[in-house]
Amino acid sequence: MTLATENLLKPKDFATDQDPRWCPGCGDYAILNSVQRALAKQGIAPHKIATIAGIGCSSRFPYYMATYGFHTIHGRAPAVATGLKVARPDLQVWVATGDGDALSIGGNHFIHAVRRNVDVKVLLFNNRIYGLTKGQYSPTSELGKKTKSSPQGTVDNPFLPMSLAIGAEASFMGRSIDVDGKTLGDVLGAAAAHKGTAFVEIMQNCNIFNDGAWDHLSSKEFRADMTILLEHDKPMIFGANRDKGIRLNGLRPEVVTIGENGVTESDLWVHDAHDEDPTRAFLLSRMEYPAFPVPVGVIRAVQRPVYDALVNAQIVEQQAVKKANLQSLLNGRSTWTVA
Amino acid sequence: MTASATSAKPREVRESVIIRFAGDSGDGIQLTGNQFSAASALAGNDTATFPDYPAEIRAPTGTLFGVSGFQLHFASRDILTPGDRADVLVVMSPAALAVNRKWLKPNGILIANADSFQAKNLKMAGYTENPLEDGSLADFQLFQLDLSRLTNDALQGYGLSAKEVERCKNYFALGLVFWLFERDGGLVEDEIRRKFATKQLLLDANLKVFHAGWDYGENTELFALRYSVPSAKDIAPGTYRSIAGNEAVALGLVAASHRAGLDLFYGSYPITPATDILHTFAGLKEFGVRTFQAEDEIAAICATIGAAYGNQLAVTGTSGPGIALKSEAMGLAVMTELPLVIVNVQRGGPSTGLPTKTEQADLLQVLYGRNGESPMPVLAARSAGDAFESAFEAARIAVKYRVPVVLLTDGAIANGAEPWKIPDVDSLPIIEPNLLDDAAKLNGEPLLPYLRDPETLARPWIKLGTPGLEHRIGGLEKWDKTGHIAYDPQNHHNMVKVRQAKVDGIAAEIPPSHVEGPETGDVLVVTWGSPYGAALTAVRELQAQGLSVAHTNLRWLNPLPPDLHRILQKYRVVLVPEINNGQLVKVLRAAYALDIQQYNRISGLPLSVAELRDAIVNVLPH
């Protein structure tokens, strides 16, 4: 397929003939549309892409993507994707996963994929609940949350997925709300272009078991005040009136109002997505509701060596310096002959 | 100077010798044993080895649990086992003696490092009196050497620390036994030169000590006699090398990848006793071998499944505890019908069990240890050399039938070495991956990822990245042919049956069973895995006494050889010896509803020829 044809790709070229089996009103529909749009936009043909998932509502994703696809087992998608990407660096590999899949049963694979910087895009559909098993708390459920398995409220402290990722040396972190198509599309586009593990947290609503999970951020009423869209090299400004900002006091972020107490735009924290030092990315990962607006957009995008590329470079390197002779390999170092 | 075979002392010719070296974990026992084995193989002997080492890397010096042993059987005839009990035992410490004296034959040669038989070491080994002096070793020919002192004397003027001198003493012992058994020292000298290439002082010192050990044998009055084991005569012509099971598995799989034209992917997590397979593969990048040292056993197999989906020859390897962790993913490979080889180097269990000891107790685990109806072909290697062929066959079947295949070896096979007749690469079968790699091959029909080959029932292995062949697979039940998700009751029934039929159909690949002995008779001994050698040796010895006994070994455990039922019925008694509580015997009884006898010892050690001889005699019909 020529590049010219690829540029004419439409979102529907990434849709299969299978009807999604998500509940009507599920946030996953919006995510599926955004991903199909982002893939059409980047112009890589469906046959050069593989979509890998674990188990959970979100992990049905591969069935609805007209790429190569593998619906694996619970929590293991990053591991399957790692093997596939090492074997087939020519394919673009996407992982669809949920908060239980990626952070609970698959936590180990998630952090190790991120640490190795395998060139896969990991989409974390975070709805803070177990949906497919009908409503138990997840590792991102807020403390005290009442669910079927926590009738008196949870007593487990949740993960902040971004803090976990930065602790594992994430080279790319992006975040969006499911219904914010513009931001989600931009983040997915940046993730697609990134070399290395691109971790995207999508705050997704489960309208059956955790309806309104992100209303405090996503509703039109609060969104401008409770989220902050990060843009590289731009001061961190937010608010319905664009009059609030984040200032760094040493290593302590604080919310300030522009024009009050002598605060001007030049006092604000300027976002540097390419800062190799993870310290400030970690500070961003800790900015949580309600004390802070929750950062969305591309939080971090730095270059560091990519695992699958390094593995394959060693193969090429050894093939250049050593001749692969199977017979002499079988012969080994010393032989003897029986006549 | 090269240690040569010339000597003024008389020699006694022996047909075979079993020698056992034992010492602390840090004494270099495994190295010593391996070098002696290699020299014996080069001298034309048939050889078999049995490393017997503890799980601790450097257990505290002098402790019983830290004793490392290495047994070598070398002979001027075809041998199949490392031998039951030793003719010669070399012990570096009281603890080594305490642990190993039971393995020395009466009147056997006992060479002891007398320097280490001091109060503290004696106490740690549980001796109240020095056994070298209290007459308790009167059953043996005892030779006492002050190894530490002799090594120190040889290294006067080298300026080495006491600790460095002590580390050289295993080469003194090796030099002495090389003299005693007329082994050529060139190989050891080469190894010393390689090992200490960048440390000239240690290179010189170790060479010097090795030669001093040789000269000591020649000059001391302690040894009046040398022993000679001529080269073996009944060995098939060909070029040979020494190989251990783990290396043979790796080479067999690399050879298969070469013959299939597929790069090899090996996903693994370090685990005793399988780790050497990972080490071997990691050094073979020029063959297109990619190794993935995963974060855990589950990731190891899942990445391997990813590589299989990506059209590489995908292999994962582990031991029993790792299989337990991989089980769910093994089921995924069954469901998605991808080619995969899963190597299980069995060790003592359950749980962590006996990491460095051998056992055969994972057969039922790999046959049945998964949720749902999850049939999987299972093969077992019978010896180190046979592991090459078994591994190659496992890969061939995996690719041809698009199925995960288990290859069983065990600790004894993995670490034990034997001479191996090196195959000619061009004589190895070609493996045809037969990838579906072009949408034009569909002839305008829609892609059906679960359309089956009518003969093998294999589904297509679709080349990822091909335009028009995009498809989805997964662990959910699927419709026949299309592979779409399906919960239909009759379809599930059909799919369970077809997955089973595919594995059952592999029986067509199994060649006629080889039975050594009479076609009908009193006793047939059936083995799988490492007891093969001891069982066949026992059977041959009893045949020589005129008894009506025969032996057959199973490489294929699932499916079973099609002719096996008929063969079993031709003997009055069938006996299955295993290093487990009776696993194959259960499978055979269930398959054929026959009354089959069992013999089991589960002590972490190989079965011996002597006990199997007794076991066979015990079941002889009267």
Please list the residues that pair with B481 across neighbouring strands. B450
Q: Which tens digit of pLDDT belongs to each residue from B112-159?
A: 999 999 999 999 999 999 999 999 999 999 999 999 999 999 999 999
Q: Which residue does chain A place closest to B471, by CA atoms?
A: A68
Chain B residues touching A86 at Cβ < 8 A: 265, 290, 292, 303, 306-307
The CATH number covering residue A167 comes to 3.40.50.970
Å from A13 to nearest chain B CA? 12
Cβ of B350: how many Cβ atoms within 10 Å? Answer: 11
Instruction: Look at the alpha carbons of B135, B136, B139, B145 in this order and tell me if their dihedral is positive or negative.
Output: negative
Please report where in the chains the tokens 């020029």 appear, as a residue: B286
Burial zone of B550 (CB within 10 Å; 0-12 exposed, 13-18 middle, 19+ buried): buried
Please report where in the chains the tokens 């997704």 appear, as a residue: A204
Q: Does A249 contact B at CB distance below 8 Å?
A: no
Q: Which of A125, B483, A31 is nearest to A11 (CA)?
A: A31
Q: Which residues 54-93 of chain A have a CB within 8 Å of chain B?
A: 55, 62-63, 65-73, 76, 79-88, 90-91
Interface contacts A/B by beta carbons within 8 Å = 199
Q: Which of B587, B615, B578, B235 is nearest to B412 (CA)?
A: B578
Chain A residues touching B236 at Cβ < 8 A: 338
What CA–CA distance (Å, rounded) separates B616 from B622? 13
What CA–CA distance (Å, rounded) separates A26 from A34? 14
pLDDT at A7: 63
A147 DSSP 8-state letter: B
Q: Do B329 and A335 touch (CB under 8 A)?
A: no
Å from A283 to nearest chain B CA? 28
User: Where is B363: in which H helix or E strand?
Assistant: helix B363-368
Share of residues in chain B with pLDDT > 90 (%): 88
A328 occurs within a structural domain: no
Q: Which residues 312-331 of chain B have a CB within 8 Å of chain A?
A: 312, 314, 328-329
Extended strands (E) in B168-312: 226-228, 238-244, 264-268, 289-293
Q: Do A63 and B466 touch (CB under 8 A)?
A: no
Residue A193: domain span: 3-225+290-313
Q: Which residues 159-188 of chain A have a CB within 8 Å of chain B?
A: none
Number of domains in chain A: 1
A161 DSSP 8-state letter: H
A115 occurs within a structural domain: yes
Q: For residues A99 and A74, is the Cβ–Cβ distance under 8 A?
A: no
pLDDT at A6: 47
A259 occurs within a structural domain: no
A323 occurs within a structural domain: no
What CA–CA distance (Å, rounded) separates A290 from A142? 13
Q: Do A315 and B288 touch (CB under 8 A)?
A: yes
Chain B residues touching A16 at Cβ < 8 A: 472
Burial zone of A230 (CB within 10 Å; 0-12 exposed, 13-18 middle, 19+ buried): buried
Q: Does A1 contact B at CB distance below 8 Å?
A: yes
Is a pLDDT exceeding 80 seen at residue B275? yes
Q: Does B299 contact A at CB distance below 8 Å?
A: yes
Strands B16-24 and B264-268: unpaired
A335 occurs within a structural domain: no
A17 occurs within a structural domain: yes
What DSSP string describes A59-103? GGGGGGBSSEEEE--TT-HHHHHHHHHHH-TTSEEEEEEEHHIII
Q: Which tens digit of pLDDT belongs to each residue from A93-108?
A: 999 999 999 999 999 9
pLDDT at B2: 47
Q: Do B38 and A90 touch (CB under 8 A)?
A: no
Q: Does the predicted interface ipTM exceed a cut of 0.95?
A: yes
Chain B residues touching A87 at Cβ < 8 A: 263, 265, 290, 306-307, 310-312, 314
Please list the residues that pair with B273 across neighbouring strands. none
CA A267 to chain centre: 31
Q: Which tens digit of pLDDT belongs to each residue from B591-617?
A: 999 999 999 999 999 999 999 999 999
Mean pLDDT of chain B: 95
Q: Which of B451, B456, B454 is nearest to B469 (CA)?
A: B451
Q: Does B465 contact A at CB distance below 8 Å?
A: yes
Phi, then psi, of B470 in degrees rounded to 5: -60, 135
Å from B496 to nearest chain A CA? 19
Q: Do B473 and A334 touch (CB under 8 A)?
A: no
What CA–CA distance (Å, rounded) separates B542 from A214? 79
What DSSP string describes B479-498? -TBT--B---HHHHHHHHHH
Q: Which residues 90-149 of chain A have a CB within 8 Å of chain B?
A: 90-91, 108-109, 112
Is a pLDDT exceeding 90 seen at residue B243? yes
Q: For residues A70 and A62, is the Cβ–Cβ distance under 8 A?
A: yes
Is a pLDDT exceeding 90 seen at residue B284? yes
Q: Which tens digit of pLDDT belongs to each residue from B410-461?
A: 999 999 999 999 999 999 999 999 999 999 999 999 999 999 999 999 999 9
A239 occurs within a structural domain: no
Q: Which tens digit of pLDDT belongs to each residue from B54-111?
A: 877 777 888 999 999 999 999 999 999 999 999 999 999 999 999 999 999 999 999 9
Q: What is the maximal distance between C-alpha atoms in chain B? A: 90
Q: Do A72 and B465 touch (CB under 8 A)?
A: no
Q: Which domains does chain B have, with CATH numbers?
A: 11-228 (3.40.920.10), 241-427 (3.40.50.970), 515-619 (3.40.50.920)
Both tokens assigned to B90: 């070399």
What DSSP string describes B98-143? HHHGGGEEEEEEEEEEGGG-SHHHHHHTT-SS-TTTSSTTTTSEEE
Cβ of A193: how many Cβ atoms within 10 Å? Answer: 12
Q: For residues A164 and A286, is the Cβ–Cβ distance under 8 A?
A: no
A33 occurs within a structural domain: yes
Q: Which of A21, A86, A327 to mutate to test the interface with B (most CBs of B within 10 A)?
A: A86
Confidence band, pLDDT 50/70/90 cuts, at residue A232: very high
What CA–CA distance (Å, rounded) separates B176 from B163? 21
Q: For residues A263 and A245, is the Cβ–Cβ distance under 8 A?
A: yes
Q: Which of B311, B306, B313 is nearest to B284 (CA)?
A: B313
Of A109, A312, A317, the CB nearest to B295: A109
pLDDT at B140: 96
Burial zone of B500 (CB within 10 Å; 0-12 exposed, 13-18 middle, 19+ buried): middle
Strands A49-53 and A92-98: parallel
